[in-house]
Chains A and B, each alone.
Chain A
Amino acid sequence: MATKIQAPRGPADDSSGLSLSKEEILRYSRHLIMPEVGMEGQLKLKQARVLLIGTGGLGAPLGLYLAAAGVGQIGLVDFDVVDFTNLQRQVLFGTSDVGRPKITAAADRLRNLNPAIRIDAIETRLSSENALELFRDYDIIVDGTDNFPTRYLVNDACILLSKPNVYGSIFRFEGQITVFGYPDGPCYRCLYPEPPPPGLVPSCAEGGVLGVLPGIVGTIQAAETLKLIIGKGQPLIGRLLLFDALGMKFRELKLRKNPDCPVCGTHPSVTKLIDYAEFCGIRGEEAPSTVTNIPEITPTELKSRLDHGDDLYILDVREPHEYQICNLHGHLIPLGELPRRVHELDSSREIVAHCRSGKRSAEAVQFLQKAGFRKIWNLKGGILAWSDEVDPTVPKY
């Protein structure tokens, strides 16, 4: 098969009596007066069926622009509920949507934006059991998820069904965008045969995302999706677009199809969907802590000991920018600096280490135990639990 883009449905469908209403002609007039789209392209958009995996940061601009452009059928897959931390970047949602299922809020917003199109609100967690059945009804799959297991699942399902996969991912202020799943083009496994082991995935100290970044990356995914549908331009097949919002730079790298790829190669070994949590070395959503048997103290116990006047030394192992958000007046030594700053600590005193949720501080406790510290505890649940159990005026983040 040729690598040139093919519209999901051929022009033959255009003669099946499909047309635009007077209202649609008015709504899409800025497309219609442009020869690259025109009536032919707009009818292709009207017939197109696009499935968005995830209605988060990437899904928000994707949903808005695809609906506005007149993509006739948009499926939304998500299982999450809108929370306050989403609003910094998930522009599909408003403050009054907090607490609502994302699917419901997103479908309402998109139906309001364009009542002439069909929105399929699919409130489910995508899995190896339901992916093939869900994907079958759509022409193009757009991956706007936030985790490795789902990305490999989306890739494999697209290859098994020969569906294009418009890929975008983000980290802090960097994004990657490409189009997988075309017959002569590469797939996600050609690019990255395996995911990083959980221990090497960046920790929350390095997490976060510039709010506008998913807006830019999701909008590029939307542009690629529209181009694939109308069959115009040069799609990002075999090209990895890298975007750096800090440097405000775009770079492009060549992607090649790997003939030995286990999914899309000449002799594929993966011929059905697998257990992707296992493939990615994790169970459930969160990586298991690699640290066990750490002495712990609960926030309530710590409060009562401090109130009792006990001489406890609070060690905060978060980053300085986190300390500025909220703190327990502890001594700040970021986890990464602990090895060279360990001399700042007095091993004869009782030390309670804490971070945001208790994971980094568990590593700190383990490190300090190995360094000979004996009177050291990890604050269970971190500053989040402190806010829940002891002092609700401490903000959570």
Chain B
Amino acid sequence: MAVKVIIPTPLRAYAGKQESVEVQATTVAEALSAVTTKFSELKKHLFAEDGRLRSFVNVYVNDEDIRYLEKGQTSVKAGDTISIVPSIAGGARGPAF
């Protein structure tokens, strides 16, 4: 199944500067695995060392949070959109260092 994975601005630097990536997958875990295989640098930003999704990164299938579906095992079908939504804190400040 071809699904679209939307890459958020803060992570685009680790995903070839692309806004979205299309991958073949039947579950969210497969889709994220396909994306991180393609862009290996993205992996440490999405997953902790124990392989779990980081707690400041949420993943949605269409508009539903996978934490309230079946997490990584949530199934996806052709045409679904997976959004990676990390926490951002900015309000105003320019470069911090």
A interface residues with partner B (beta carbon < 8 Å): 54, 56-59, 85-86, 89-90, 144-148, 151, 168-174, 176, 191-196, 200-204, 206-209, 214, 240, 242, 244, 247, 251-256, 258, 285-287, 336, 356-357, 359, 397
Contact = CB atoms under 8 A, between A and B. Distances in A.
B83 interface: yes
B92 A195 contact: no
Contacts of B67: 258
B92 A146 contact: yes
A204 B87 contact: no
A254 B91 CA distance: 23
Contacts of A359: 97
B71 interface: no
B80 interface: no
30 contacts: A54-B91, A86-B92, A145-B89, A146-B89, A146-B92, A147-B91, A148-B87, A168-B91, A169-B87, A169-B90, A171-B9, A172-B9, A174-B8, A191-B58, A192-B55, A192-B56, A192-B58, A194-B56, A195-B87, A195-B89, A200-B44, A203-B97, A204-B97, A206-B10, A251-B83, A252-B63, A253-B63, A254-B65, A356-B95, A357-B97
Nearest to B44: A200
Contact of B93 (A146, A193, A254, A258): A146
Given A148-B89, A192-B87, A357-B95, 6 more contacts: A54-B91, A169-B88, A194-B56, A255-B65, A256-B68, A258-B67
B91 A144 contact: yes
Contacts of B54: 196, 200
A100 B54 CA distance: 41
Nearest to B62: A253
A192 to B, nearest CB: 4
B83 to A, nearest CB: 7
Interface string B74-93: 00000000010111111111
A201 B58 CA distance: 16
Contact of B65 (A54, A206, A253): A253
Nearest to A240: B85
Given A171-B10, A172-B9, A214 B94 contact: no
Contacts of A193: 55
B9 A207 contact: no
Classify chain B's interface size. 20 to 34
Contacts of B64: 253-254
A170 B94 CA distance: 12
Interface string B21-57: 0000000000000000000000011000000001110
B94 A207 contact: yes
Given A169-B90, A253-B83, A174 B96 contact: no
- Report which residue of B45, B68, B91, B97 has the largest number of chain A beta carbons within 10 angstroms of its beta carbon: B91
B70 interface: no
Which of A144, A151, A192 is most buried by chain B, counting CB atoms within 10 A of its CB? Answer: A192
A265 to B, nearest CB: 14
B96 A207 contact: yes
B13 interface: yes
A172 B19 CA distance: 14
Contacts of A90: 92
Nearest to A203: B97
A86 B58 CA distance: 31
Chain A CB count within 10 A is highest, among B60, B65, B87, for B87
A151 B44 CA distance: 24
Residue among A147, A174, A194, A196 with the highest chain B CB neighbour number at 10 A: A196
Nearest to A207: B95
Contacts of B65: 253-256
A170 B88 contact: yes
Given A204-B97, A336-B13, A145 B58 contact: no
B88 A171 contact: yes
Q: Which 8 A-B pairs have the closest CB atoms?
A: A56-B92, A204-B95, A146-B91, A57-B92, A171-B88, A194-B55, A192-B87, A196-B56
A291 B6 CA distance: 32
A254 B13 contact: no
Contacts of B97: 203-204, 286-287, 356-357, 359
A58 B93 CA distance: 11
Contacts of A255: 65
Contacts of A146: 89-93
Contacts of B45: 200
